[in-house]
């Protein structure tokens, strides 16, 4: 099939819940991907913050090829070495003592919510502590509990009724949490940097305050690091950059570098909520996914990708900040490390993303009007420079279209 036929077939059979761009990506290397027509793209979307090591990283390719030939799956009836080593490394590097390995961000969040409820009931003996506080503009995934936790009505639409017991506070507003929290609150769940809601970093005082409020009320604190974790914000886990540790943390996306994996990491105390049979998943922590995650974690450390995330993130933010100066389109540039958002005036973000793609730069829209940049952590200074150039041209083209009397800058 040629590209046109492939697109026709894809659109005929794909779930109508997706609307992919009219290109078919075929192969990648580093920060670049190529489509079936041979067009090259600089990928600052990275599979939505997933491809932390970029494409075809030699260490990951080699580790996976070896593992495929040895063992891909055995179920959780048995241990495997990669799974044990991964859990060990996650616990050694984080506040956590135990890990539940699973397959996605939504599943990691389901695990966290189930763990918190069961902890309050089974360990604390408090049958009434069943409620959760999450935040407006948050995103936690697409399963029923995860969409209920997601504080954006558009994800609930048509799926109601949502699960009972969830209320939504305002991000970066401790008073709104104080107003909702009670002796019935099992846990508070928050993204240290909101991703899908429009790339919004938490204020350090906000996360510190959440810790204090949770401790005061006996609620568990859950950090959803599915998007912001694994070196992206300059520390292996985003919470380290804030100096506030949660009781439970969820990971996915960047952890597997492209191989699906999720993890719910928690303290020994929180994990007292689970006993044999409480929770399980067939593929969780299988040796193939665990090998990928181990390799990602080791490579993030051996190649100093956390430092790279800070340096390249600063470069990107500086460049975007300069473009924002005097731009009638850019409302705000914000982010942390290599998780950067450019909030635009209404109606601009989607079109600018399309213009960027035509020029060979992949980015996407997060929230109602924010262009999101989440490139692989291996991105180099010259890649950032090129991406800034393409974004600037696309921005100016969009601005010229709004005001046709002006020349494209």
Ligand X SMILES: Cc1ncc(COP(=O)(O)O)c(C=O)c1O
The binding site for pyridoxal 5'-phosphate comprises 105-106, 139, 224-227, 282
Tokens of 241: 């950059």
135, 139, 206, 237: which is the annotated catalytic residue? 139
Contact (CB, 8 A) for 378 and 53 = yes
CB of 103 to ligand X, least distance (A): 8
Q: Which is nearer to ligand X, 139 or 274 (CB)?
A: 139
**Dihedral sign computed on CA atoms, order 374, 151, 113, 269:** positive
Of the pair 196, 343, the CB lying nearest ligand X is at 196
- Tell me how far apart the alpha carbons of residues 259 and 52 are, in angstroms, rounded to a whole number: 11
CB 313 within 8 A of CB 336: yes
CA distance 66 to 61: 9
- Considering only 118, 129, 140, 211, the residue that binds ligand X (CB under 6 A) is 140
Q: Shortest Cβ distance from residue 163 to ligand X (Å)?
A: 16
Least distance CB 258 / ligand X (angstroms): 12
Q: Which residues share a beta bridge with 168? A: 134
Strand, helix or coil for residue 62:
helix
The residue within the footprint of ligand X, chosen from 96, 151, 195, 254 (CB under 6 A), is: 195
Rg (CA), the chain: 21
By CB under 6 A, the residues from 248 to 267 that bind ligand X are: 252
Q: How far apart are CA 147 and CA 263, in angstroms?
A: 18
Residue choice 105, 151, 313, 319 for contact with ligand X (CB under 6 A): 105
343 touches ligand X (CB under 6 A): no
Respond yes or no: is residue 203 known to be catalytic: no
Minimum separation from the CB atom of position 139 to ligand X (A):
5
3-state secondary structure (DSSP) of residue 214: helix
Which residue, 174 or 252, has its beta carbon nearer to ligand X?
252
From 237, 253, 271, 373, the catalytic residue? 253
Q: Taking contact as CB under 6 A, which single stretch among the options 4-12, 61-69, 126-134, 190-198 is the one that binds ligand X? A: 190-198
Helix (H, G, I), strand (E, B) or coil at 92: helix
Residue ranges of alpha helices (H) inside 161-286 are: 174-180, 204-217, 238-242, 268-271
Active site residue 124: no
- Segment interacting with ligand X (CB under 6 A) among 100-108, 168-176, 302-310, 325-333: 100-108
Give whichever of 42 and 190 is closer to ligand X, judged by the CB atom. Answer: 190
Question: Does residue 224 interact with ligand X by CB under 6 A?
Answer: yes
372 sits near ligand X (criterion: CB under 6 A): no
Part of the chain binding ligand X (CB under 6 A), chosen from 4-12, 112-120, 169-177, 224-232: 224-232
Helix (H, G, I), strand (E, B) or coil at 135: strand
Binding mask 308-337 for ligand X (x = CB under 6 A): ------------------------------
Whole-Å CA distances, 183 to 86, 186, 272: 36, 8, 20
Tokens of 218: 């006996």
**Is the Cβ of residue 82 or residue 195 nearer to ligand X in the bound state?**
195
Three-state DSSP class for residue 368: coil
116 belongs to the binding site for ligand X (CB under 6 A): no
Q: Provide the minimum distance between the beta carbon of 255 and ligand X in the complex, in angstroms, as a whole number.
A: 10
* Residues whose CB is less than 8 angstroms from the CB of residue 45 and which lie 6 or more positions away in sequence, other chains included: 362, 363, 364, 372, 374, 375
Applying CB under 6 A, does 139 fall inside the site for ligand X? yes
Residue numbering of the annotated binding site: 105-106, 139, 142, 224-227, 281-282
CB environment 175-194: b (16+ within 10 A), e (fewer): ebbeeebeeebbbbbbbbbb
- 253 labelled catalytic: yes
- C-alpha 168/C-alpha 159 separation (Å) is 18
Cα(35)–Cα(25) distance, rounded to whole angstroms?
4
Shortest CB 232 distance to ligand X, Å? 11
Of 94, 227, 329, 364, the residue at the interface with ligand X (CB under 6 A) is 227
Q: Is 204 helix (H, G, I), strand (E, B) or coil?
A: helix
| Region near ligand X per CB under 6 A, out of 75-83, 221-229, 321-329, 376-384 | 221-229
Judged by the rule CB under 6 A, the positions of this chain that interact with ligand X are 48, 104-106, 109, 139-141, 191, 195-196, 224, 226-227, 252
Active site residues per annotation: 139, 224, 253
């Amino acid at each position: 099939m040629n590209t046109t036929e492939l697109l026709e077939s894809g659109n005929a059979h794909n779930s109508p819940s997706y609307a992919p761009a009219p290109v078919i990506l075929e192969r990648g290397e580093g920060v670049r991907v190529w489509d079936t027509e041979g067009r090259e793209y600089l990928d600052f979307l990275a599979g939505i913050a997933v491809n932390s090591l970029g494409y075809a990283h030699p260490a990951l390719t080699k580790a996976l090829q070896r593992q495929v030939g040895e063992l891909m799956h055995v179920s959780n009836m048995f241990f495997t070495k990669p799974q044990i080593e991964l859990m060990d490394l996650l616990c050694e590097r984080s506040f956590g003592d135990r890990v539940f390995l699973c397959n996605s961000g939504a599943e990691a969040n389901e695990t966290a919510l189930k763990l918190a409820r069961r902890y309050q009931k089974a360990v604390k003996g408090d049958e009434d502590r069943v409620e959760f506080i999450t935040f407006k503009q948050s995103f936690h995934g697409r399963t029923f509990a995860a969409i209920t936790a997601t504080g954006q009505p558009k994800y609930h639409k048509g799926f109601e009724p949502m699960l009972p017991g969830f209320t939504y506070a305002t991000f970066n507003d401790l008073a709104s949490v104080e107003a909702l929290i009670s002796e019935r609150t099992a846990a508070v769940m928050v993204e240290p940097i909101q991703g899908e809601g429009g790339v919004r970093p938490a204020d350090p005082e906000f996360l510190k305050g959440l810790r204090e409020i949770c401790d005061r009320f006996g609620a568990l604190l859950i950090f959803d690091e599915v998007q912001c974790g694994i070196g992206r914000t300059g520390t292996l886990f985003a919470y380290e950059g804030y100096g506030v540790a949660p009781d439970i943390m969820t990971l996915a996306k960047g952890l597997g570098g492209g191989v699906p994996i999720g993890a719910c990491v928690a303290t020994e105390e929180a994990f007292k909520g689970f006993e044999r049979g409480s929770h399980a998943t067939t593929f969780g922590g299988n040796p193939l996914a665990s090998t990928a995650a181990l390799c990602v974690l080791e490579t993030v450390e051996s190649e100093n990708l956390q430092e790279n995330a800070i340096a390249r993130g600063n470069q990107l933010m500086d460049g975007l900040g300069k473009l924002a100066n005097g731009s009638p389109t850019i409302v705000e540039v914000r982010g942390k490390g290599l998780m950067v958002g450019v909030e635009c005036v209404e109606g601009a973000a989607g079109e600018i993303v399309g213009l960027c793609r035509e020029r060979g730069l992949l980015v996407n829209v997060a929230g109602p009007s924010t262009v999101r940049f989440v490139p692989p952590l291996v991105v180099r200074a010259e890649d950032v420079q090129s991406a800034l150039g393409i974004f600037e041209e696309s921005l100016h083209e969009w601005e010229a279209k709004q005001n046709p009397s002006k020349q494209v800058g």
